[in-house]
Structure 1
Amino acid sequence: MMSSAKEMEFKVFNDSIHGHMELHPLCVKIIDTPEFQRLRNIKQLGVTYLVFPSASHNRFEHSLGVCYLAGEMVEALRKNQPDLNINEVDKLCVQIAGLCHDLGHGPFSHLWEAFLKQKGVVWHHEKQSVEMFNHLLEKNDLIGEFEKYGLHERERRFIKDLILGKGDSCDQGKQFLFQIVCNEENGIDVDKWDYFLRDGLHLNMNIIFDYRRILKFCRVNEICDEEGNKMLHIVFRGKEAYNLYEMFLVRSTLHYKAYQHRVVLLLDQMFVEAFMEADKHFTLKKLDGSGEIKLSEAHKYPETWTNLTDNIFYDIVGSHLNGLDNAKDICKKILSRKFHHFIVKSKYCFPEDVEEKKAKEELKKKAKEIEKKLDSKHSSRYLVLFSHIQFGGSCPDPFENIYFFSKENPSRSEKVDLKEIGLFPISLESARHAEFFLFDKNKDGKKEERDEAKSLFLRYLDNKN
């Protein structure tokens, strides 16, 4: 039996975004573990902090915010539709999934995934979060605490499925709970709500969408897909279409102004190069004393992972190991702000026969082609990077998968056409466009050589060539 609310002491956290947040005592037990406290030392925006000095917030406070918002959304659905039969265990599972969804992030957040991908390692932070959740439970002897609140093996599996955004552990008729923390259907979830607001605050950018209104006007309806399968979806009142439009507009703005700022992209590249070089010689000790492992192997060992944070950058800089000269040289260039010289940027529209979902691969291929052509004249001197801003993530038009209901007929849902309600679908216009950036790795390069590279770069980006 789960303890009643009166018997439990909720802890209050004072947050810069949500104000005073009350969190369940089991959530507090999780927060007070080394595995979770580790998130205090992982920057939410990775190297973006080196470009925007106030973006110093960490995965720790973001995770608390997602936990809180997950509870708020569950409560909103319970209030709007008592017949959904959402119980306290359901709510706690969703909250813990929100709290633990980022346990697996590596140093500098998404940057670590880029590093491992370049190493040829197939790895995703969501799966790592599940691994760390398992480790956290065992290492801190929390299984008994979970069962004290009615979270047995089946519920713990449900939490892990919620972190991944998919699974078969959900009770019949409650599949919509998968759309709260990690919404694979249309990208409307509390994880994004928190980081939009939190990142916007610390980047000093005005955020215009209002999640509180969305909570007031959301419900669960049965939707029939194109194959005739019936599923329960979280849907929204028709008048909130503009609010959701603004939410996706916030996303594209944050990407354009910050996440894919050209200096951020360059720093990502330099950090990855530093870690690639360091991985050849720098090792981490297994805490059981059984040996040492490479940086690119750390994710296999939860004990080691618990101690791997953004501090690894300074561990490399201060290391006296032989063979680290190249890695340390890159790190020192970063610290002394000796970045590659920016030459020019240019817009690019990729061919009509390329699907939007394959845009990133097409753009990577184009960047490498241009670098190869420039290298034939200048021997690996130039670097080509790109930014690609999509309105709603992998889907160019997120409104494809959003359903709305009316005040007159709340149980019936349908999609809306943005044009019909007076909104210009910028996603469809921008999804086929990108910006390419040309950098010179030689800070002291001659102007004549850069002018030649610039001319070639712009010619190669011409769709006619």
Structure 2
Amino acid sequence: MLGIKNSFDHTRCMKFAREVEVKSEKQICFRDKEAANLYEMFHTRYILHRRAYQHRVGNIIEIMISEALKMANKRILTPGKNGKKLWISKTCTDMSAYETLTDSIVDRIIWSEDATLDRAKGILENIRTRNLYKCVGHTIPPKKMDKEKVLQKYVAILKTNRSGLCKNDVIIDVVNFNYGKKDKNPIDHVCFYTKKDPNKADKRKMSEVSGLLPKKFEEQEIRFYCKKNDKTSKDEATIAFQAWCKKNNCSVFQMKSSSYEVEYIPDQGYLNDPCQIY
């Protein structure tokens, strides 16, 4: 439905799937010649997460909705099974209350006359009008990084630059993309049978499948967002993002703001930088 093409043949996958007992445990195994097709399935999973499920626009909308719900947590009360009114975060302990938390909660917040919910209302209205927090850049670090440490260093750069932005004005979103088994090869956990002996299955080495298969199965992407939409704030957030990438030797894969559009490559520096920030 997304219109994303893939070369995984699900029909063949199901056709050659079979239950085989492996080490006294029944497992769903596949014909040995289907190993490459299974790699395509996990690669398709990775592509769907990168281009759709974990798209930066979808993720920032989720983050904005979460912010609004946190602000409304103690103000929007839902009656439970005993008539006791619960906060949004407490409804998970009472299914009769929890099942009422549908998408309608967004409208409940927007329609509320409680003045303390004005900030939450503003965030939800911004989502409806597509006035989202702006992504000033994203990068793939050479090794996995901790979200809080990234935020601390980024905020420190903002302070060093004497920016008008503070910790509450920026968002760091760390997303991990993989083949379904974190940094491990998922095919290492699948057993295959042969045409000659369909009742015996075992694992296969990557070298037995192809020499062109990936060696790495997980990567991390760090996205930098600015909550303020004015030109000055976005420029300051972009400059700090550049500095963070340079300090951490990270390549900039995309960076667009109102004034800057540059590319940084480790050991080469900034390319196409008309502002000559450094």
2:136 match = 343
Give the CA deviation at 1:238.
0.9
User: Aligned to 2:9, which of 210, 218, 236?
Assistant: 210
Once residues 247 and 74 of structure 2 are traced to their aligned partners in structure 1, the CA distance between those partners, rounded to angstroms, is 35
3-state SS, counterpart of residue 172 of structure 2: strand
C-alpha separation in 1, matches of 2:197 and 2:175:
43
CA contact (8 A) 2:19 2:26 kept: yes
Which residue number corresponds to residue 272 of structure 2?
Answer: none
Q: Match for residue 396 of structure 1?
A: 184
Q: Distance in 1 between matches of 2:236 and 2:158?
A: 12
Residue of structure 2 equivalent to 1:222: 21
Flag the 1:223–1:366 CA change in 2: closer, same or farther, 3 A. Answer: farther
Q: Residue 259 of structure 2 aligns with which residue?
A: none
Report the AA paired with residue 370 of structure 1.
Answer: K
- The count of aligned residue pairs is 245
* Amino acid across the alignment from 1:383: I
Deviations 1:265-289 (A, max 9, x none): 211211111111110311112254x
Whether 1:409 and 2:197 are equivalent positions in the alignment is yes
Give the AA of the match of 2:185.
Answer: D
Separation in 2, partners of 1:208, 1:348: 29
Q: What SS does the aligned partner of 2:140 have? A: strand
Matched residues in 2 for 1:299 and 1:413: separation?
A: 43
1:448 to partner: Cα distance: 5.0
SS at match of 1:323: helix
Alignment root-mean-square deviation, CA: 2.3
1:294-349 Cα offsets, whole Å, 9 max, x none, are: 11111211212222212211221112234211211111111111112222222211
Alignment of 1:356-435 (within 5 A): 362-374=145-157, 376=159, 377=162, 378-380=165-167, 381-422=169-210, 424-426=212-214, 428-431=215-218, 433-435=219-221
Deviations 1:175-217 (A, max 9, x none): xxxxxxxxxxxxxxxxxxxxxxxxxx2x222243233322222
Distance across 2 between alignment mates of 1:246 and 1:423? 15
> Partner amino acid for 2:91?
A
Q: Percent identity of the aligned residues?
A: 26
Q: What amino acid sits opposite 2:224 in the alignment?
A: L
AA aligned to 2:28 is: I
Q: Contact 1:274/1:330 (CA < 8 Å) preserved in 2?
A: yes
CA-CA distance at 1:248 after TM superposition: 0.6
- What is residue 223 of structure 2 aligned with on the other side? 437
| Map 1:167-186 → 2, pairs under 5 A | none
Q: Which SS does the other structure have where 1:419 is aligned?
A: helix
TM-score, structure 2 length as denominator? 0.79
Aligned match of 1:244: 38
Amino acid aligned to 1:342? C
Return the structure number with greater helix share: 1
Does the 8 Å CA contact 2:180/2:186 hold for their aligned counterparts? yes
Quick check: which one's strand share is greater?
Answer: 2
1:455 maps to 242
User: How far apart are the structure 1 equivalents of 2:120 and 2:154?
Assistant: 22
**Higher relative CO (CA 8 A, sep ≥ 6), structure 1 or 2?**
2
Q: Could you tell me whether the CA contact under 8 Å between 1:405 and 1:412 is conserved in 2?
A: yes
Offset of residue 461 of structure 1 = 3.2
Mapping 1:3-402, distance limit 5 Å: 201=1, 203-224=2-23, 230-288=24-82, 290-350=83-143, 362-374=145-157, 376=159, 377=162, 378-380=165-167, 381-402=169-190
CA distance in 2, matches of 1:383, 1:394: 24
Secondary structure (helix, strand or coil) at the match of 2:206 reads: coil
**In structure 1, what residue type is equivalent to 2:66?**
V
Alpha carbons of structure 1 residues 308 and 382: separation in structure 2 relative to 1, 3 Å: closer
Q: TM-score, normalised by structure 1?
A: 0.49
Deviation at 1:430, TM superposition (A): 4.6
What is the one-letter code of the residue matched to 1:339? L
Q: What residue ranges of structure 2 are gaps of 5+ in the alignment?
A: 251-265, 267-278
Output the CA distance in 2 between the equivalents of 1:349 and 1:324: 41
SS of 2:220's partner is strand
